């Protein structure tokens, strides 16, 4: 494809391949330390991609669509939606603070 996101796309494909089919989280239907470890990475990635920050400043729109709208990453997106619906995640995440920090970087 020629996108500068090639290594990221490959890593996300690998991560998605590790997610169990039919489970809400990384190791089943309960939020665990595995999910807590992945949550900040996926959260910052989403903020950066949606707001065209960091490495996403120089990528084409197709790369964003590939990750956040295509069938290819549907399982990964569902997994992250499950993380975002977790009570603890919702209580600790401050998206506006992260967005302002990322804009300054």
Q: Using pLDDT thresholds of 50, 70 and 90, give the confidence band for residue 83.
A: very high
pLDDT tens-digit profile of 48-73?
787 777 666 656 666 777 788 889 99
22, 25, 29, 32 alpha-carbon torsion, rounded to 10°: 160
Arithmetic mean of pLDDT, 4-23: 90
Which ranges of the chain would DSSP assign to H, the alpha helix?
Answer: 6-18, 33-50, 61-68, 74-84, 87-92, 95-104
- Asked if pLDDT for residue 3 goes beyond 70, the answer is no
Q: Please, which residues have CB within 8 angstroms of residue 4's CB and are 6 or more apart in sequence?
A: 55, 58, 59, 63
Predicted TM-score (pTM) of the model is 0.82
Distance CA 42, CA 88 (A): 16
Q: Please, which residues have CB within 8 angstroms of residue 16's CB and are 6 or more apart in sequence?
A: 73, 75, 76, 79
Q: Would residue 21 be called left, alpha or beta, if left means φ above 0 and alpha means ψ between -120 and 50 degrees?
A: beta
């Amino acid at each position: 494809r020629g996108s500068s996101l090639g290594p990221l796309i490959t890593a996300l494909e690998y991560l998605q391949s590790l997610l169990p089919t039919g489970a809400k989280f990384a190791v089943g239907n309960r939020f665990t330390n595995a999910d807590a470890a992945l949550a900040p990475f996926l959260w910052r990635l989403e903020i950066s991609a949606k707001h065209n920050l960091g490495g996403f400043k120089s990528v084409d729109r197709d790369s964003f669509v590939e990750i956040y709208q295509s069938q290819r990453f549907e399982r990964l997106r569902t997994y992250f939606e499950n993380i975002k619906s977790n009570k603890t995640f919702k209580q600790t995440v401050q998206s506006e603070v992260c967005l302002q920090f990322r804009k300054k970087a």
